Structure 1
Amino acid sequence: MIKVDLITGFLGSGKTTFIKKYVEYLASQHLRVAVIENDYGAINVDRMLLSEALEGKADVEMVIGGDKDCRIRRFKTKLISMGMQGYDRVIVEPSGIYDVDEFFDVLHEAPLDQWYEIGNVIALVNSRLEALSKQSDYVLASEVAYAGKIILSRVDEAKEDDIKHTIDHLNKALREHHSQRDITNDIIAKRWDDYRDEDFASIMESGYQLGIFYKQAIDDDFFRSLFFLNVHLDKAGLKQKANSVFRDPDVGHVIRIKGFVNEDGQWYEVNATKDDIHVEAINDGQEVIIVIGEQLDEEKLHQYFQ
């Protein structure tokens, strides 16, 4: 049977970076791998980045978003179409706002339960975790509750106190949502460059937890992804806009900005959080900026990216 790994992580947690390294390890073990980008938006920036980075190592597929029923139906259809293509492992990267129960429900339905088995649930968490709203804390706790391994990202940017604070925060969030999960022995906190084959071998066999916690409903409009097309900015201009947006409380709580800019014929990927703006040259892109956050004001954000 084909094993399926779910890679969860709150917005800006480093899922895509981890997947690149994880796939490299799986490919080195001579496994045929596919990655499914399962996002809400019709323009999936992460898929474009992974397709370039994983060329020759994994196939990258996309499930376009929609409402919950539409998203589940398309995910099932994609898995059915991939079932006879000879993959050894499929990696699913959902949106940073994701109900993990959707993953289990789909994989346990016929005919998928005859072709696939759940391998691992792996949760990425920023080791410099900032203060979160109650709704975001719930999403974080729900993702961690299911994870076989919790991987702290951006460790090279964090101090020891930052990491301790993040682990304490995770434990507190789990307790507040009535989870008895003890994550002490399931956390990996290392610099990306320090990961070795034995680390990935351990992650590959980490499995998942039952995810017992108190479930709550979140308003569909609380978290939003807003798309701004044909944004003509250079790198400096976008950095300036992003810094202004993160500081402007009137636009809502912006958690992440990602997309592409073109400067002198060269495409650049942009990935920004409140604390860091990462810009990297890539081969291809599209003039789009995506703003993700809580209770966003589309009209006010449009004034920045019109």
Structure 2
Amino acid sequence: MKVKLDIVTGFLGSGKSVFINNIIAETITNDEKVVVIQLEDGETKIRKDFINVKTFMYDDEICKLDSFINNTIEESNCTRIIIEYNGTESFEELQYTLSIHNTRKKYKINDIYFIADANVIESYILNMGDFIIPALESSNLILINNCFDKKEDKINEIISLIKKINLNGHILKCENNEDIGNTIMKSNLFSKKRIKRLYMNIRGERN
């Protein structure tokens, strides 16, 4: 059985590490071994009190990430991998690296999450679309963070812009980093025993 690989992407400071900490806390089971591979070193760290969770920093070329993942699977015997990916890097390059020679891989892409900062996501889409749009298009779930000081009309404007790029991805909104965990729990998209399948993704229903 191939290892499930999740990707959490978005720009530095958007709340990716906080999101990862919360989905691990909400979904990990006793029989799981989780590896988090971080491709950036942000302010928030992955919690060290998790049992059966290992964290690695990866600072080599993206084209070599596939080999690193396969070696990590062999050495750690993990059942699940979460990649934290910087939104300023090419998402298409990451997709290509993870998809080539797919039949020989020990893992498969499971779900893709995009963490957006409500303060800057619109300007980033308009000015850095080459980086953001491929990631948004591929995401199963988009979390709009830092909505605490935004009027409802502004949030709806952001949601409308995102839906023009990804009509089928599920969209959540939260006040700030401290609200991410509560937002995840209230969404009912995740259960304590295992991650529920997100059937709303743009690639259609998965097995």
Q: 2:173 aligns with which of 183, 186, 189?
A: 189
**Are 2:183 and 1:209 aligned?**
no
Give the letter aligned to residue 55 of structure 1.
D
Which fold has the larger relative contact order, with Cα–Cα distance below 8 Å and residues 6 or more apart in sequence? Answer: 2
Deviation at 1:5, TM superposition (A): 0.4
Match of 2:99 in 1: 108
Name 2:141's counterpart in structure 1.
149
Question: Helix, strand or coil for the counterpart of 2:54?
Answer: strand
For 2:183 and 2:163, locate their aligned partners in 1 and report how far apart those are by CA, in whole Å: 25
Higher Cα Rg, which structure: 1
> Which residue of the partner structure matches residue 162 of structure 1?
154
User: Which of residues 54, 59, 63 in structure 2 aligns to 1:59?
Assistant: 54
**Does the 8 Å CA contact 2:142/2:171 hold for their aligned counterparts?**
yes
TM-score computed with the length of structure 2 as normaliser = 0.76
CA–CA separation in structure 2 for the residues paired with 1:29 and 1:166: 38
User: What is the alpha-carbon distance in structure 2 between the residues aligned to residue 114 and residue 11 of structure 1?
Assistant: 29
Match of 2:12, SS state, is coil
User: 2 CA distance for matches of 1:169 and 1:78?
Assistant: 36
- C-alpha distance in 1, partners of 2:81/2:134? 22
Structure 1's 29 and 122: CA in aligned 2 closer, same or farther, altered over 3 A? farther
**1:120, 1:147 within 8 Å by CA — same for their partners in 2?**
yes
Equivalent residue for 2:45? 49
Residue 89 of structure 1: CA displacement? 0.7
Could you tell me whether the CA contact under 8 Å between 1:7 and 1:123 is conserved in 2? yes
SS in structure 1 at match of 2:190: helix
TM-superposition CA deviations, 1:237-261 (whole Å, max 9, x none): xxxxxxxxxxxxxxxxxxxxxxxxx
Question: Structure 1: which 5+ runs fail to align?
Answer: 175-180, 211-306
Equivalent residue number for residue 15 of structure 2: 14
2:4 corresponds in structure 1 to 3
For residues 153 and 31 of structure 2, the distance between their equivalents in structure 1, rounded to whole angstroms, comes to: 39
Which whole-Å CA distance do the structure 2 matches of 1:171 and 1:123 have between them? Answer: 13
Q: What do the CA deviations read for 1:246-284 (whole angstroms, capped 9, x no partner)?
A: xxxxxxxxxxxxxxxxxxxxxxxxxxxxxxxxxxxxxxx
Give ranges in structure 2 of 5+ residues lacking alignment: none
- Indicate if the aligned counterparts of 1:120 and 1:204 stay in contact, CA closer than 8 A: no
1:87 counterpart residue number: 78
Q: Quick one: distance in 1 between partners of 2:34 and 2:57? A: 14
Kept after mapping to 1: 8 A contact 2:62/2:97: no
Compute the displacement of 1:203 (Å).
Answer: 6.4
Question: What's the RMSD between the two structures over aligned residues?
Answer: 2.8
- Counting aligned pairs with the same residue, the percent is 18
1:159-212 CA-to-partner distances (Å, cap 9, x unmatched) read 32231121123245x3xxxxxx414x62122442243283324965227535xx
Pairing 1:27–2:28 present: yes
Kept in 2, the 8 Å contact 1:80–1:112? The answer is: no
Distance 1:165 1:145, change over 3 A: same
Q: Which amino acid aligns with 1:141?
A: I
CA contact (8 A) 1:20 1:54 kept: no
Q: Separation in 1 of the partners of 2:144 and 2:189?
A: 13
Q: Which residue of 2 aligns with 1:132?
A: 123
Report which of the two has the higher share of strand. 1
- The answer to whether the 8 Å contact 1:26/1:33 transfers is no
Contact 1:149 1:203 in 2 (8 A): no
